[in-house]
Structure 1
């Protein structure tokens, strides 16, 4: 575990490996890409967990049925627990290589979507959701860069929008350049999920700088406009179109969370249930929800409006045109469309609050529109 944590980190700061035989795997594409993420050790533990998950540890090294507290002293001392100490199980280079070769093609994409902060707090999340990685669309490097910055609050435009949507002015250079989470801060800025950690876990995270602090004071959800996001997940969106639309939803959801809000997520297939998004693991649902049924934009938006929330509908331009969205001003409905690459379409506004993104929008364009949706300045563009 220690060797794999080192091999998925910065090569320039890595010391000697406990098992020198693993050094032959340094050039493996999976390890190289994982190291390129430049994540802290606590987040890389999720990657290591995926690599070692299928290794069959001898039964004598399993934790006893008793509560973990009974095993904690032995674990801290590095002793075997629950049986004959014997020879330690060894996952050699051949076994590690086999595990790396068997990694799902898009598993690291899924981890980027979940974000290093969430995985630091719950490394096992990667194992629980790993089966969903095969259902992700193909994500180009540019999209992954945007998604990676969303969880960390690294998009200055959305950072300013978070402050604006919460009714607070932007705070100069801090709001323009810094993420909204930090690894240092006063106790009252500690994120809620870390306040309730058991003492030993809290101490371990504090020593490794794994605790997370808010850069801005906690904002009551009541200060944020309740939002419902309606996403078209029909076959017409599969491929590059869904990457654009889902990326935008991803940015908006992360920003709303940082502002203290919990958005409602619906699809344009009314048979699929609506979900209130409250935790990072649910982003996997945002990225994998699909339907073979034709989208019913009117029914989906009506369901969303019934909740009393402001509604953002995201769909293909041709679908919006075909279903003739209302042409009268609806102050609580915003429409976002995009188009298939290579389609020579001049966007025609389907609604007074209609925004259209090109087939291959830049990261800046995505972030800028997310900021517009957050602040409520949603006139036609």
Structure 2
């Protein structure tokens, strides 16, 4: 690892960051039943503020956008108030926070949503996958196809959610266009059989992603807007087929014209495509490689393929990950049994090798400073 490369400053939109690590978005399923993040979320993100750029868990922009139990939302005043406490904790500890807007599309179950309605998607096509519900694992049921009017409304939901995120004090939002959710469903020919302006050709299948990105950038500023893509991902029934590379070359080229704060790639091993994306993308590029060894964490930055290295499970299990990496100290092992749902265990109780002071701001709001005891 070239230390000077990883620890050199970088600009993300209007943010000046001290290093090139970031916290990846990770679903934790600990919001209140109405989608409001709770006090533990403020502690969780505040603990990890030294990562600089914190990208939150997927956050639904509407009732239709929810897929999983107890995921947070950002479309009501209660959501704004809950997120404001989270943002305050991150800012008080020197971090910056982007709320990820995640509309899951067909990856849902009526029993997991506030309104109990059938999921929406580009087309009425089963993903042939299961989802966790209060009754256990169940088959994802058939979604219904969005009308063109509903597509326009869904774009407006993203616009509203972005505005609400900024009202909560967030530094920006990341649009979730990856992992088999709604935007990638529009991109994928096996999930999108539409014959209108949103289906068929590469250009048409990219239209929804581009219109969402343009609407969000128009609402809060391009320098507060990022987007995440996962070319080649086959999660929850997605298969982008032979046109996948050309689809993303076109999409990235069009997104580049919006001058967004960053593009976040969940990399699936296609280094030729990644090189093409790097050449086409004019601002910061974040690249997240799954299962990379720790000693290669800075490699993409060193060779010019990325500007930042987001980390997931390492950040989840190590509130002091930056300190440990800088000092070459051992890392905590994440506990998968506590990844989704539950309380403090496996969420805010991972030990730190030095005290991590978590400031919540005004103690009269019920958020006094707390400290994770160091173990060394």
Same fold (TM over 0.5): no
TM-score, with length taken from structure 2: 0.27
TM-score by length of 1: 0.26
Kindly name which structure, 1 or 2, has the bigger radius of gyration based on alpha carbons: 1
The structure richer in helix per residue is: 1
- Structure scoring higher RCO (CA < 8 A, sep ≥ 6) equals 2
Higher share of residues assigned strand: 2
